A and B are shown apart, each in its own frame.
Chain A
Amino acid sequence: MKECNVTFLPHDRKITVAEGESLIRAALQAGVHINASCGGEGVCGKCRVHVEQGLVQDGKSERIKQEELDSGVRLACRAKVTGDVVVRVPVESSVDKSVMNLQATPRRTARIQQMDFENLKEEGLFIPPVEKIYLRLPPPDAQNNMPDVTRLVEYLKLEADEHKLELTLPVMRKLPSVMREENFTLTLTMVRPVRKNGKNIILNVQPGDRSGSNYAIAMDIGTTTIYGQLIDLTTGQCLAEAGDFNGQISYGEDVITRIIYAEKAGGLEKLQEVVVATINSVIEKIIRKSSIDREDISTITFSGNTTMTQLFLAIDPRNIRRAPYVPTATLYPPFRAAEIGVSINEHAIALLYPQVSSFVGGDIVAGIMGSGMYRDEELTLFLDIGTNAELVVGNKDWLACTACSAGPAFEGGGIEFGMRAAKGAIEDFSIDPITYEPMIFTIGDVRPKGICGSGLITMAAVMFEMGVINNRGKFNREHGTPRIRKTNGIWEYVVVWKDATQINRDIVLTEPDLDNLIRAKGAIYSGCMTLLEEVGLAMDMVERIILAGGFGSYIDLEKAMTIGLLPEIDPEKVTFIGNGSLMGARMSSLTNRIRRDVVSVTQRMTNFELSETPSYMDNYIAAMFLPHTEIEKFPRLKMRMEARKN
C-alpha cells in the first residue's frame, strides 16, 4: 500500500499514513488537535482545514462555500489522503506554538501477542489431548476368529504400539457394526492420559478414515459474555468463533448476586440450566458457521472464574462469598459434556481449567497458561481488567496472584453515557487547551451514541493534562466555556451537543463519572502495588506487562499511564492478549502439556486476599488521585506537566 506524508501547520508535525486514511485520523496520530464533534459523518462542519500543498480526495461539503473550496478548504473528517500533503489547521485562538506542540502524546497501543501455533509444533508441544487414529484391521476368518474387541486391542498393541487401552461400554456396543460398515477400516478417537503411566481411553469409533476431521471447542464462560471457538486439531486453526451474553445476567450482574440467587430453592439448577443454554447456542452458532459434523468434535475445554465454574457444574457456590472464602475444589476431573446437557456428541469429553481461590479462577489460570507466562524467565505482571480485575505477578519459578473489584467503569457501566465498545462509541478524544473544544472519534466513524471504556480513559487523561480537570477529577469551573456546566447540582462537560449525536441528547461527561473512573483505576493500580509489595518487589523490576480483557487492545497506553491506571513503564514492555481465558482454553485443546503443567501452576500460585492486606487501603487512597499522590512515580508525566506550566 502506498504511504503518504502529511504535514500539519502551524504545528509542523509530520506523520506517514497509508493512502486512503482520513485527514482527521492522521491528525490524531500526529497529536494535532482539530475541533470535531460529529464522529466523522461530516455534519458538524467544524473540522475545516486548509490544504496548502498536494491533493486530497473528497472532503467537500455544502457547508463550505465555493470560493473556499477553490482555495483548498476541506472537512478533515471526510478528506482522504491520496498523496503527500501539507495541511494548515486554523487556529481560533492565539495558541502559541509551544502549547500546540505539547498538545497530546502520540497514540501508543500495546503490541498484540497471538498464539504461535508453529512455535508450539516446533517445540514438540502439539499433542492434543484427544487424537484420532485410522486403522485397517484384518477381517476375521476361520484361522483368525478372535472377538472384535480383542482384534482391535491386539492390532493396536502389535501394529500401532499402543498400550494400556481402555474401552467403554458405548464403544463396545458400536464396534461390531462400525467395524463391518467399511470393511474393517475404522477411526478411533482416543483420549491421551495427562501422565505417562495413565490409560489411553478409546472414546469413539467411526467407520472409514475420519482421522482428518478432529475438532475441539474452546469456551470461555465469562460472568457477562460467553465466547466459543471451534478448533481444527489437525492444523491448529480456529475455524469459527461466536459469542453471546451469559443468560445468567437476568439473575444478577455480578457473581455475588448470582451466588445469592443460587442459594434460593431451585436457584442453582436454574442458573446451570441457563448457562448451559447459552453455551449450547454458542455451539450451534460455531457449528453452523463451520459446517462440520458434530460427531467429529471430541473435546470441549472450558475456562471460567470460580463462581461460573461451580454454577456450570451445579456445585453449590455459597462458601465463595463467605469468609474465609473457600471454593469447593481447585481441580475438576474430565467428564462427558453431554451428561450435563451440553448439546454435543455424547462421547465428547469436557476439560475444565482449575481454580486457585474463590476470586482467582480458571479464567486467570487459562490466561497464565495461554500467554505462556508460566514458562517465561521474565518477571511478568499479568493484568486481566474487567469488573473484577485479577492480577498475577511472577515468572516460571513462582507466581503470586490477587483479585480486586474495579467496578464496571471500563466496560461502560456506572458512566452516564457509558456504552460497550460498539459502533457509535467515542473511542478517542482530544481537546483544545485554550477553548476546551473537543475532537472526537467514534468506532465506525458514525455520529456518537456514547462513550466506551477506552474513550473514557483517553478523555480523562487528555482533560487532566490540559488542566480541564484537576487531580481529583473536578472540572475547572472558572473557564467560562458553555461546555462546562452544572446540571441538577452536578458539574459536567458537554462532549457532543445533541444535534451532532445519534441519540438527540447532549452527551456529557460528569464529575461522578470521573469519580467512578478514578475509583476503578485506583483499585487496579493499588492492587498491583500491594501485590508487588507483598512479594517484596518494586514496579521497576517488572520486565513485562501482559494485558488481558475485552477492551485492552484499544487502550492508548500513554493515556492509561497518564491517569495512573497503569504504572509508567516503557510501552514496549506491554503486550496485549485480548481474551486470555479463551486463549488458554484453546491452548489446552491443542496441547496436553498444558493439562500436565496446569496442576503444578495452580499449586504454585500464591493467593493474596487484598481485604486482609492492611496496606491495600493505604495504597488505594494514594491511587485515588490523578495520576497518583506520588507524582514521582510518573516521571514522564511530571516532566510534561512541568513543561506545560512554564
Chain B
Amino acid sequence: MGFELNKESYSGGIKAISIGKGDSAITVGGESCYPFHTFEGDMPNKPVVAMEIWDMEPEDWPEPVMAHFKDVVADPAAWAKKCVDDFSADAIVVQLKSIDPNDKDASGQSAAETVKKVLAAVNVPVIVWGCANPSKDEEVLKIIAEACQGDNLVLGPVEEANYKGIGAAAMGYGHAVIASSPIDVNLAKQINILLENLGMPMDRLLVDPTTGGLGYGLEYTYSVMERLSMAAMVQGDDKLQFPMINNLGNEVWKCKEAKQTLKEAEVLGDPEKRGIMMEAIGAISYLMSGSNILVMRHPEAIRMTKEYIDALTDGGSLQDSKPILKVMEEVSVDFAALAPPVDLTIAEEKKAEPAKKAAPAKKEAAKPAPAPKAEKVAPPKEEVKAEAKPEPAVDQEAQAKADAEAKVKAEADAKAKAEADEKAKAEAEAKAKADAEAKAKADAEAKAKAEADALKADAERREEEEKALRRLRAQARAAAEDAVVSASAVEETVTAAAVQKTDQEKIIEMLDRFHKRK
C-alpha cells in the first residue's frame, strides 16, 4: 500500500465575490479548501494585493517607504496610477485619513472628489477605507456611495455602530461593504447577520477581522482568521463564508520598530529591510490563515508577497527570487560590537543550582523520564484501540482489554518504566553527588578550579543524560516496532471490549478524574 495523503473533507467554501466595475473587476475568494491546500480542493482566485494611497500627504511615513512615493504623495490620482503601473497593484485602497475628526476633519464632498479622481486614474477595483470613527465614516461613506453610484466601490470598515447607514447606502448605490469586527469569531458573525437582516446582498460582503501588525497582535488575528476559515469550511457556517481583507501596511508601518532609524535602534539592523520584512512576514502569515485581499504599502514587500503567492499556487521555486532592492544606502552594523559582554560568572550561578535540583530531581525524573517513551508507544496503541472502540482513553482501559498483546506490551511498559525510574534515580544521585563534590571543592579551592570541575560535572551529567535518553529511545523504538508488528498481526482478531462503557460512565470517569476522587 502506497502513501496516502490524509485529506480534510470540507462542508463549505468561501463565496466568490466580484469587486470593481466592468473590465477592471476582479473576483476574490471562491476557494473550497484551506489556504493553498489545492490538493484538497480548488483555489480558483489567487489572493490579491491592494496598495494603499492616502487622501492627504502622510506625515509620519518612514523614509524607506517614502522614498518610493515622494513624487506622488501630493496627488492621490497620480499615486494610484503609480501603484498600478509601476508596482502592479491588483486594487487600490483609498485611506480617508483626512476625514478624521481628530485631525483635519475634511468633508464628505472633498473625500468623494478624491475617490472620483482615483477612479478616473486607474482601471483596477477601488476600495474606500474610512478613518475608523464610526459616525464620521457613516457620514462620509454615504456621500461617497451616492457620488460614485455604479462604480462598484468597496466601502469599509462597517461596524455595529454604523452598519445601518453605510449598509443602506451601499445597497442603494450598488457598492460592496467590508464588515469589520474586533478580532472575535462571534462578533464577526454577528455583524454579518446584522447586515444580512438589513437586506445587504451577501454577494457584496467582505470581512475585516481587524488586523494586528507583526509584534502587535498578529497572532490574535491569525488565530481568529484560522477559526473563521474553519467555521466556513469545515462547519459550513454560511454566515462566515466571505473573503477576508487585511489592512496590513497601515498597521506594520505605524509601529515603532518600522520607523526607528539606524541610530535609534542599531541592534535592529538595516531600517529599510526591517520594515519590508515585517510587512512581508505579516502578509505571508495572513495568507496562511486565509486572507484574500492584503492591503500593503511597500513595493518590495509586495513583490515578495506576490512571488510567494505565485509559487504556492502555480508551483516553482523561490530560490531565484531577488534580494530586497534597496533604495537607501547600504548599512553595516557590527553586531558583535553591539552584543553585551559575555557573562563569565557561570560557575557561581551553578553552585546555587544543586541544592534546588537535588530535591525535586527524584520526583521530576520519575515523571518525565517515561514520558517520551509513552508518546512513542502511544500512536500504534491508539490505532489498535481506535478500531476496537470509538474513544480510546486511559491506560486502565488498555489493561481491561487484557488480550495477549496488551499484556506483553504492558509488561514491556512496566519494565521499561522501572528501568527508567531506576536510571533516573541513579542519575539523580550521581548528579547530586557530582554537584555536591563540585560545591565542596569550590568552597575549598580556587574559583577557577571550581569552574572547571563544575563544567566537567556538567559535561558528565549531560553525557549521562544523553546516554539515558538514547537507551530510552532505543527501547521505545523497539517497543513501538513490537507493537506495530503485533498490531498488524492481530488486526483481524481485535474485538470490542466485552462491556462497552456508556456515555454516562465516561462522564463519571471524567468527573472523578477532574475531582481527583480516584
Which A residues fall within an 8 A CB radius of B?
A: 397-398, 400, 470-472, 535-537, 603, 606, 618, 621-622, 624-625, 629, 631
Contact = CB atoms under 8 A, between A and B. Distances in A.
Contacts of A397: 504, 508
Return the 5 tightest CB-CB contacts between A and B, nearest first: A622-B186, A621-B186, A606-B511, A606-B515, A398-B508
A470 B510 contact: no
Given A606-B511, A606-B514, A471 B184 contact: no
B506 A536 contact: yes
10 contacts: A397-B504, A397-B508, A400-B511, A470-B194, A471-B194, A535-B510, A618-B186, A621-B187, A625-B190, A629-B189
A398 B507 contact: yes
Contact of B160 (A472, A535, A603): A472
Interface in B469-518: 503-504, 506-508, 510-511, 514-515, 517
* Chain B facing A: main interface SS: helix
B197 interface: yes
B193 interface: yes
Given A606-B514, A606-B515, A621-B184, A471 B507 contact: no
Nearest to A603: B517
A625 B504 CA distance: 32
Nearest to A632: B237
Interface in B181-236: 184-187, 189-190, 193-194, 197
Contacts of A624: 186
A625 B194 CA distance: 10
* Chain A facing B: main interface SS: loop
A610 to B, nearest CB: 14
B507 A472 contact: no
A312 B508 CA distance: 34
A606 B518 CA distance: 13
A606 B513 CA distance: 10
- Most-contacted residue by chain B among A606, A622, A625 (CB, 10 A): A606
Contact of B504 (A398, A400, A622, A629): A398
Contacts, number: 43
Given A398-B504, A472-B194, 8 more contacts: A535-B507, A606-B514, A618-B185, A621-B186, A624-B186, A625-B186, A629-B186, A629-B193
Nearest to B508: A398
A518 B503 CA distance: 34
Contacts of B194: 470-472
Contacts of B517: 603
A398 B509 CA distance: 10
A400 B508 CA distance: 10
Interface of B: 160, 184-187, 189-190, 193-194, 197, 503-504, 506-508, 510-511, 514-515, 517
A625 B239 CA distance: 15
Nearest to A535: B507
A625 B197 CA distance: 13
Nearest to B504: A397
Contacts of A470: 194, 197
Contact of B197 (A471, A535, A537, A621): A471
A71 to B, nearest CB: 44
A629 B187 CA distance: 8
Given A535-B507, A536-B510, A537-B507, A471 B515 contact: no
B313 to A, nearest CB: 33
Given A397-B504, A618-B186, A621-B186, A535 B193 contact: no
Contacts of A603: 517
A631 to B, nearest CB: 8
Contacts of B160: 472
A625 B517 CA distance: 39
Contacts of B514: 606
Contacts of B515: 606
A454 to B, nearest CB: 27
Contacts of B190: 471-472, 625, 629
Contacts of B508: 397-398
A618 B186 CA distance: 8
A551 B226 CA distance: 43
Contacts of A622: 186
Contacts of B193: 471, 625, 629, 631
A631 B184 CA distance: 18
Contacts of B511: 398, 400, 535, 606
A398 B512 CA distance: 9
Contacts of A618: 185-186
Nearest to A541: B503
Nearest to A645: B197
A259 B469 CA distance: 53
B507 A536 contact: yes
A603 B503 CA distance: 21
A397 B190 CA distance: 39
Contacts of B510: 535-536
A644 to B, nearest CB: 12
Contacts of A471: 190, 193-194, 197
A460 to B, nearest CB: 17
Nearest to A477: B164
A224 to B, nearest CB: 31
A356 B194 CA distance: 42
A303 B503 CA distance: 33
B293 to A, nearest CB: 25
A622 B515 CA distance: 29
A216 B194 CA distance: 57
A624 B197 CA distance: 17
A624 B191 CA distance: 12
A157 B189 CA distance: 75
Nearest to A625: B190
A88 B207 CA distance: 50
A226 B504 CA distance: 38
Contacts of B186: 618, 621-622, 624-625, 629
A536 B160 CA distance: 34
Contacts of B503: 536
A367 B118 CA distance: 69
A535 B160 CA distance: 35
Nearest to B188: A629
Nearest to A537: B507
A53 B350 CA distance: 100
A333 to B, nearest CB: 23
A395 B364 CA distance: 40
B116 to A, nearest CB: 29
A470 to B, nearest CB: 6
A625 B510 CA distance: 32
A78 to B, nearest CB: 40
Contacts of A537: 507
B162 to A, nearest CB: 12
Contacts of B197: 470-471
Contacts of A535: 507, 510-511
- Most-contacted residue by chain A among B186, B187, B190, B517 (CB, 10 A): B186
Contacts of B189: 629
A397 B507 CA distance: 10
A629 B507 CA distance: 28
Contacts of A472: 160, 190, 194
A397 B506 CA distance: 12
B31 to A, nearest CB: 24
A470 B196 CA distance: 12
A221 B504 CA distance: 35
A521 to B, nearest CB: 15
A631 B196 CA distance: 13
A398 B503 CA distance: 12
A76 to B, nearest CB: 34
B377 to A, nearest CB: 26
A433 to B, nearest CB: 16
